[in-house]
Amino acid sequence: MGEPIRVLVTGAAGQIAYSLLYSIAKGDVFGKEQPLILVLLDITPMMTVLEGVVMELQDCALPLLREVIPTDKEEVAFKDLDIAILVGSMPRREGMERKDLLKANVKIFKSQGAALDKYAKKTVKVVVVGNPANTNCLIASKSAPSIPKENFSCLTRLDHNRAKSQIALKLGVTANDVKNVIIWGNHSSTQYPDVNHAKVNVKGKEVGVYEAIKDDSWLKGDFILTVQQRGAAVIKARKLSSAMSAAKAICDHVRDIWFGTPAGEFVSMGVISDGNSYGVPEDLLYSFPVVIKDKTWKFVEGLPINDFSREKMDLTAKELTEEKETAVEFLSSA
């Protein structure tokens, strides 16, 4: 066993973290040989609840977990980090405008970005989950100028997994039989789930999803809407937002950063758009298809984009540009 790595989870007393922490601590993400120090950050009123989470982690009696550090202080939380998983954010309250939500979150992610800049390792990998995830991630990155922009990503893997599983359900195959779906753009209802380049294994033969499903109107209609609105559907049914599936997606996202993507497969994550070849404006945190090797992601290049896709990709880029402009205004006053 090597040296332990330091992993921060924010919003650590919340329900996504409750599903996430056990998976990380038992070795599902960084492997069964990698010892861990888990740092748990939440707001002061949640400290008592967080103590309960710490007790439970201790009671799991996990061999990889060397230390658990609960805190409400950024200077403790962000110190010497290898990985930061920023789950905590200001949730949208009833009757709250998206603008108010952005303003509250700019404050949080400006502060956490500055703390990363000041206390974390310069090699830290930062994954933003708290919504609006793309813009929160961009703000954190802009507030941490000494950490490479490429080290920041936001979670669109949940959308990616939702798309994968909808295709699998439709064809009666397992999710493992479906690969290379893409989520373009914002982790919002304007995201574009694209299966033009996706492949599915049907009876041992790999075919394109469009060819396998033979129902273009479903793929261009209900399929896209189902994926875009799945989060709202879960809230409507459970009266709580997705937690188990979100935690699983975070594990997938971070594991792929750590160990790389399988040969011939790509995944979706929100990354800085600089240098992309898909006509997405620079300086946006936009979800792209990527491959990962040696903890470094690269855009998947050269995928042909049809007119239907172009329109959807531009629409979500427009929303992200507007979000960014609003957030950057708040940033100077935050």
Catalytically active residues are: 187
- Tell whether residue 105 is among the known ligand binding residues: yes
Give the rounded distance of the alpha carbon of 94 from its chain centre.
Answer: 24
- Tell whether residue 92 is among the known ligand binding residues: yes
Both tokens of residue 245? 């599936």
- Tell whether residue 98 is among the known ligand binding residues: yes
Interacting residues of 316 by C-beta distance below 8 A, sequence separation 6+: 184, 185, 186, 188, 190, 191, 192, 286
- Tell whether residue 130 is among the known ligand binding residues: yes
Whole-angstrom distance, CA of residue 161 vs CA of residue 271: 18
Closest CA relative to residue 147, chosen from 120, 177, 169? 120
- Tell whether residue 276 is among the known ligand binding residues: no
- Tell whether residue 129 is among the known ligand binding residues: yes
Cβ 184 vs Cβ 316: under 8 Å: yes
- Tell whether residue 177 is among the known ligand binding residues: no
- Tell whether residue 162 is among the known ligand binding residues: yes
Cβ 295 vs Cβ 258: under 8 Å: yes
CA angle, residues 189, 243, 90, in degrees to nearest 5: 65
Both tokens of residue 247? 């935690």
DSSP state of 163: H
Residues paired with 176 in a beta bridge? none
As annotated, the binding site includes 42, 92, 98, 105, 129-131, 162
As annotated, the binding site for NAD(+) includes 42, 105, 129-131
As annotated, the binding site for substrate includes 92, 98, 131, 162
